[in-house]
Chain A
Amino acid sequence: MAEQKQQIEEFVPSEYSAGFVTDIESDSLPPGLSEDVVRQISAIKGEPEFLLEWRLKAYRHWLTLETPEWAHVTYPEIDYQAISYYSAPKQKTDGPKSLDEVDPELLRTYEKLGVPLEERARLAGVAVDAVFDSVSVANTFQDKLAEEGILFMPFSKAVKEHPELLKKYLGSVVSYRDNYYTALNSAVFSDGSFVYIPKGVRCPMELSTYFRINAANTGQFERTLIIADDDAYVSYLEGCTAPMRDENQLHAAVVELVALERAEIKYSTVQNWYPGDENGVGGIYNFVTKRAVCRGESSKVSWTQVETGSAITWKYPSVILQGDNSIGEFYSVAVTNNMQQADTGTKMIHLGKNTSSTIISKGISAGRSQNAYRGLVRVGPNADNARNYTECDSLLMGDTSAAHTFPYIEVKNPTAQVEHEASTSKISEDQLFYCKQRGMDTEDAVSMIVNGFCKQVIHQLPMEFAVEAQNLLGLSLEGSVG
């Protein structure tokens, strides 16, 4: 057993393989936040008046708020005046017209990350809207998507080209008043992705955005807005990586999804932000608000997330089940190692009749980490025959990590059926020895056992990302067995 422990310690400092810094010039605003800064961001982006007004309202509201403290995480107070709220790679003109115009340093960064941008993209059938710090630098497959009438573009472009859609949907799912970080994001968001799928269109490929935080001391405040019109379908994947830095970086994003009549949105996330080192130095504070509304009848939204990175994760991708017969799903794997903290889960708000929701949450805690599931299932008075099934499983590795479950259930309709199952287990020495006796080394064995534990969730990911997610699980847990 002593030998086992020793093996663990040998593996623990598993390197963060995406921890490199791209050396390019950035146009940044000096640190600090004020009405002036909000106006400058809006001006840099050439935004219409309505958006500036909205930002300012959000900013003024933010000033009245206090940081939320209910989550099961601890961190030193963030100095919001020390953060730079805008950083863009320097550009020759208004923006690159093709990949040739994109800074080669940038392209190499993507290559190292394995972002399928050029040939690989075409082969894999993935359209990428790559967000480098705050501005989208490359957009692929625009033409093919345009043929179908699909809009997939940087948020800043959508602001200019489709202000009517933005006016109608921006903030319609997540109000800037929702919480501290949504107010902050609404005031200072710099870019993000915008997707609109027209009526009856099935998006022919997975849409993917690769987010990456690069410049030091910049918060990343992107917004994603996806609208699936009647009978439309889209599958969207976001992957996130950030380089290694000693300071903590703030990431406060907002994602809004709108599914209209019979529409379906599948949103998958593989989050691999820098988690900090084994002593908890550095790493991303990932404070994200993601919410979807099933506005139309028989519409469906499915969130799938594999969260392995970030020093602190605070996010609850939620679904408001407004339309009758609508369906909400949440499949989650959250891995914490070393000093990472995660407080994550979902909210399923049943408003329409015959609505159903499924929550499958798998938490894996290793090192000295804290991993909490926090979920709310609310059934409103008019939601006849609402159904929910929740399953929360925790896997502990070693004796120094912790798993917590905070399920909240509020039912205001007597016809509702709500089920909750929870389990906590450990990777047993018996399992490890069994695998080793079959010739597998400790790392492969752990990776295999963990992937088995997460199978229900991994299966929800699009094929090409499922493989990446499986590798990521193995990587983040290297040597964490005791």
Chain B
Amino acid sequence: MLEIKNLYASVDGKDILKGINLTVNAGEVHAIMGPNGAGKSTLSNVLAGRDGYEITQGEVIYKGDNLLELKAEERAQRGIFLAFQYPVEIPGVSNVYLLKAALNAVRTYQGLEELDAIDFLSLVREKMQLVKMDEEFLYRGVNEGFSGGEKKRNEILQMALLEPSLAILDETDSGLDIDALKTVSDGVNELRSKERSIVMITHYQRLLDYIVPDFVHVLSDGKIVKSGDKELSKELELKGYSWLHSEGPAA
């Protein structure tokens, strides 16, 4: 699905990613953990194709294509979905309008017909149950006046609707109370499948109790310094990130 080889990226001349290697196969859930400033968000932005990052070395292969050559919207159309850490407000644009535009952009790329209003509504209603959202959310401005939890649920709703091949969840647990965290995690777990890969980026171990990953990687100073399974995250929780620096880079 996704193969990151020796990836270096910088912002304004400052190196942030310094040789990332990571392979994600279909159906796998990977958690990327790390302290603040390790480059977690940079990695998700680079994968999603945000402007402002310079790739200085390395490559990223997604479904056999050179991902870095594609525009952000092309990556989205090919099934890369980023659940934002800070979902953006778009005043005056109704949520339902954005959802429909997004779904139809993806469908058009896939050579499918655009859904008409009626089919679309019944689909979106079904998906909304997954994250326990009321229909009134559809008609509010995109993320306008949403609480932190509502914004994150809205992200997962979009993921459910767009059915991506690769979902990157950037700090999806931040700003959530325990109930909201459970709702969001249940939604994500529903969306796990053999065809879909998930990369979760998080600071805390807490999320991994709800969405149990197949692999855990620790990102520090722009590199993956340790990889393991779920037990690694528990160890981290116990010993803190500083523990890794004393152990040196992972094999």
Using a CB–CB cutoff of 8 Å, the interface residues on chain A facing chain B are 1, 3-4, 428-431, 433-442, 444, 448-449, 451-456
What are 21 contact pairs spanning A and B, CB under 8 A?
A1-B52, A429-B51, A431-B90, A433-B51, A434-B87, A436-B71, A436-B72, A437-B76, A438-B76, A438-B98, A438-B101, A438-B158, A438-B162, A439-B76, A440-B102, A440-B105, A442-B73, A444-B105, A449-B90, A452-B141, A455-B92
Q: Does B97 contact A (CB under 8 A)?
A: yes
Pick from A3, A430, A442, A451: contact of B92, CB under 8 Å: A451
> Are A448 and B51 in touch, CB under 8 angstroms?
no
Q: Does B93 contact A (CB under 8 A)?
A: yes
Which residues of A sit under 8 angstroms from B51, Cβ to Cβ?
Answer: 1, 3-4, 429, 433
Q: Does B82 contact A (CB under 8 A)?
A: yes
Of B49, B86, B105, B109, the most chain A CB neighbours within 10 A belong to: B105
Nearest Cβ distance between residue A454 and chain B, in whole angstroms? 7
> Are B109 and A449 in touch, CB under 8 angstroms?
no
Which residues of A sit under 8 angstroms from B87, Cβ to Cβ?
Answer: 434
* Bound-state Cα–Cα, A452 to B162, Å: 22
Q: Does B48 contact A (CB under 8 A)?
A: yes
> Are A431 and B88 in touch, CB under 8 angstroms?
yes
Using a CB–CB cutoff of 8 Å, the interface residues on chain B facing chain A are 48-52, 71-73, 75-77, 81-82, 84, 86-88, 90-93, 97-98, 101-102, 105-106, 109, 141-142, 158, 162
Which residues of B sit under 8 angstroms from A435, Cβ to Cβ?
Answer: 90, 98, 101
* Bound-state Cα–Cα, A440 to B74, Å: 9
Which residues of A sit under 8 angstroms from B77, Cβ to Cβ?
Answer: 439
Which residues of A sit under 8 angstroms from B106, Cβ to Cβ?
Answer: 439
> Are B92 and A453 in touch, CB under 8 angstroms?
yes
Which residues of A sit under 8 angstroms from B91, Cβ to Cβ?
Answer: 452-453
Nearest Cβ distance between residue B30 and chain A, in whole angstroms? 20
> Are A452 and B90 in touch, CB under 8 angstroms?
yes
* Bound-state Cα–Cα, A435 to B102, Å: 8
Looking across the interface, which residue of chain B has its beta carbon closest to that of A442? B73
Looking across the interface, which residue of chain B has its beta carbon closest to that of A427? B90
Nearest Cβ distance between residue B242 and chain A, in whole angstroms? 33
> Are A439 and B102 in touch, CB under 8 angstroms?
yes
> Are B71 and A448 in touch, CB under 8 angstroms?
no
Looking across the interface, which residue of chain A has its beta carbon closest to that of B88? A434
> Are A439 and B93 in touch, CB under 8 angstroms?
no
* Bound-state Cα–Cα, A106 to B115, Å: 39
Nearest Cβ distance between residue B53 and chain A, in whole angstroms? 10
Which residues of B sit under 8 angstroms from A452, Cβ to Cβ?
Answer: 90-93, 141-142
Nearest Cβ distance between residue A61 and chain B, in whole angstroms? 45
Which residues of B sit under 8 angstroms from A4, Cβ to Cβ?
Answer: 51
* Bound-state Cα–Cα, A4 to B50, Å: 10
Which residues of A sit under 8 angstroms from B73, Cβ to Cβ?
Answer: 436-437, 439-442
Pick from B49, B82, B101, B109: contact of A448, CB under 8 Å: B101
Which residues of B sit under 8 angstroms from A430, Cβ to Cβ?
Answer: 86, 88
Looking across the interface, which residue of chain A has its beta carbon closest to that of B79? A439
Looking across the interface, which residue of chain B has its beta carbon closest to that of A434? B88
Which residues of A sit under 8 angstroms from B97, Cβ to Cβ?
Answer: 448
* Bound-state Cα–Cα, A429 to B48, Å: 14
The 8 closest A-B CB pairs, nearest first, are A452-B92, A439-B105, A452-B93, A438-B102, A439-B76, A434-B88, A455-B92, A436-B72
> Are B98 and A448 in touch, CB under 8 angstroms?
yes
Which residues of B sit under 8 angstroms from A433, Cβ to Cβ?
Answer: 48, 50-51, 72, 88
